[in-house]
Structure 1
Amino acid sequence: MNEILVPLAAADLIDRIALLQLQIENDATGCQNGAARRQKNLLDRLAHRVLPDDVDLHRMRLHLYEARCDLYAIEEDLRACDERAEFGVPFVALTRAFLASRDALEDAKAELRDHLSKPLLINEEYVQTQGRNDV
């Protein structure tokens, strides 16, 4: 089978890795773990190669993962209410929590996009050793 290659923003790569991790952790049957693990391992290797290794990025990745976990838990609770046909106060509260959680996820993704789209900073010492002081 031929692989399909598409451009992907770094923040979207991180989000996909977080989604796969969540899928692996919550697959009770183990049916999807093999494919998800292979895909996650591949994307982890890619991320290790192309993403900067900085403390802020690690913090943001954890924040994104936690936002994904919160959203997943609320979705599961909403599904349980739906299965029981309970659409009263708890359902409304969960729906509001879902919207807030989705906003938190979007904020985490925006923070990642902003962080990863900053221009690279040129090391002044390197520039000076190359004889350029006009940067």
Structure 2
Amino acid sequence: MNAMNALVLPSPEMPAEEYAHLKTWYDDKYEAMWYYMDPKPRPCVTWQLLNDLKQFHRDLYSVIDHSDGPTLKYLVLGSNTPGVFNLGGDLKLFKELIETRNREALFEYGKACLDTMYPHHIELERDLTSITLLQGDALGGGLEAALSSS
């Protein structure tokens, strides 16, 4: 098993349940890392999805910076939800935060959304190409995520 597959396959270092809202796959032939959003219960930007994306980016940095790590040319973002790329912000969360007048939490959520997709946008500051596989509806922040690729 190569180092990239450690992001995909269960191992003592990284169990399969590491990403509850994200599916990953490394393609040796094309040197491409695929990651598919799989948020539950709705295909929107949940805190859980943001946390998985942040952890994935941290894990990916450490794998590709490892001296014997695999070559990575492409970083491909997609969705595991048929017909939907991402519906954007978590409207249920918006409603709760607005009703409770929790301006600070709403700001933190918005900032977390930007901070989470920034590594994809800057291609992890590595010599690679970011791609979005857009199959289905992309609304609001979901469309912004799709546009973050080069």
* TM-score, length-scaled by structure 2: 0.27
In proportion to residue count, which structure has more strand? 2
Q: Which has the higher contact order (CA 8 A, sep 6+)?
A: 1
In proportion to residue count, which structure has more helix? 1
* TM-score, length-scaled by structure 1: 0.30
